[in-house]
Amino acid sequence: MASAIAIIAVVSLTYIGGGVHSFQASNNNNNIARRTALSSSTVNVAESLAIPSSPWFSTTESVDDSIPKLKTQILQLGAALDRGQSYNPTSGEYYAQSMDTARSKIQSLISLADDEKNVPKSLDDIAGEWELVFTTVKHGIFRSSPFFLAVQEAFEYAEEREAFGQDKATLFFKLHELQTCSWGVSKIGRVAQRIDPKDGYLYSEFDTSIFSLTVIPILGWFKLLPTFGGCVVTASKAKLADGGVIEMVVDYTTSRPVPGLSGLGEFIWSIKVPVGAVWKFLPWNKGREAACSVTVKYFDEDFRIVEDKSGDLFVYSRPVVERKLDI
């Protein structure tokens, strides 16, 4: 009896041991297969990374560039360059290549435009709200405002158009940017335009926040001063001339609150500065109006490109999040 039990025990152990060995061998084979698959997958991923995932984002110029492709690339470059203000020649030439590429993409889009379809014939064609998504202008994206465009054109009538070896308008904007934006006191947020054909006005808006970046370096992480600001609004009389030229005369400048941003007080929103009336009496303007103009080089249902007299380009798109403006 004892012998029989011993034989059964030996046979059972042999069977179980063989099963365990078989399971381990099978498990090892599965691990090898998984490692092989993972290695193959890694190679495939590496290979895919070596090739652009989408031809729309290729870095090379293509003869089959389409309007949707170019618009997508311009929007991507606008996001990467913070609407163009990341490139600042005062600080250095970094991002200059990206800026050149963006300008080339915009020009390519303009070249595809159909004058009968993509150049407006009236303000009604381009009516409504537009947000700035990219510009090639240097020293401040606030320069899309007709007020600053009028300043730029006013320098054209100066007796001397250069100072310290530079164009006076460029020097003015460079100094303005250095004083207001370059050390964290002021920051430009949303920049937009509204075109109202009914009353013949173009309303330019830009949000500005003050002391948004102030903090005590090294010693702490709390803000030294509270952030406040608002939306600066410049209202200009506007009409559309031949060739898509928007002719503007600045009327007044005011401000409006920005939701979530503290203002200086309720009184500030009621102030209206009569820029147009004052402008003529400034001695260097010699009685001229605060006039300026831009040319619409391209527009469709959701994109608009304009060019100022210096050749700088401003790209606007319809806003995803609309904002009312109570004037």
CATH number of the domain that residue 302 is part of:
2.40.128.280
Residue 246 CB neighbour total at 10 angstroms: 22
Q: Quick check: 283 pLDDT over 70?
A: yes
Containing structural domain, residue 12: 1-51
Residues 106 and 164 in one domain: yes
Q: How many domains does the chain have?
A: 2
End of a domain among 34, 51, 68? Answer: 51
Binned at pLDDT 50, 70 and 90, residue 63 comes out as: low
pLDDT, greater one: 280 or 49: 280
- Picking from 31, 51, 71, the residue at the C-terminal end of a domain is 51
Q: Tell me: do 23 and 166 sit in the same domain.
A: no
Does residue 311 carry a pLDDT above 60?
A: yes
Kindly state whether residues 20 and 70 are assigned to the same domain: no
The model's confidence at residue 1, banded by pLDDT at 50, 70 and 90, is very low
Q: Do 135 and 267 share a domain, yes or no?
A: yes
Task: Report phi then psi at 20, rounded to 5.
Answer: -65, -45
Residue 72 sits in the same domain as residue 133: yes
Cα–Cα distance, 26 to 24 (Å, whole number): 5
Q: Please indicate, yes or no, whether residues 172 and 31 belong to a single structural domain of this protein.
A: no
Q: What is the mean pLDDT of the chain?
A: 78
Q: Is the pLDDT of residue 159 over 60?
A: no
Residue 324 falls within a domain, yes or no? no
Do 236 and 247 meet the contact criterion of CB atoms below 8 Å apart? no
In a domain, 327, yes or no: no
Among residues 106, 104, 88, which one has the least CA distance to residue 317?
A: 106
Q: 150 and 285 share a domain?
A: yes
Res 116: pLDDT: 86
Compute the CA torsion angle 176, 180, 182, 185 (nearest 10 deg). 180
- Asked if the structure places residue 323 within a domain, the reply is no
CA-to-CA separations, 23 to 29, 31, 148, in angstroms, rounded = 10, 12, 79
43 and 120 in one domain? no
Report CA torsion sign: 73, 138, 191, 208: positive
**Statement to judge: residues 11 and 79 lie in one domain:** no
Residue 315 · residue 305 · CB < 8 Å:
yes
322 belongs to a structural domain? no
- How confident is residue 218, by pLDDT bands cut at 50, 70 and 90? low
In a domain, 216, yes or no: yes
Question: 94 and 183 share a domain?
Answer: yes
163 and 27 in a common domain: no
On whether both 109 and 133 belong to a single domain, the answer is yes
Binned at pLDDT 50, 70 and 90, residue 183 comes out as low
Provide mean pLDDT across the span 107-127: 94
127 assigned to some structural domain: yes
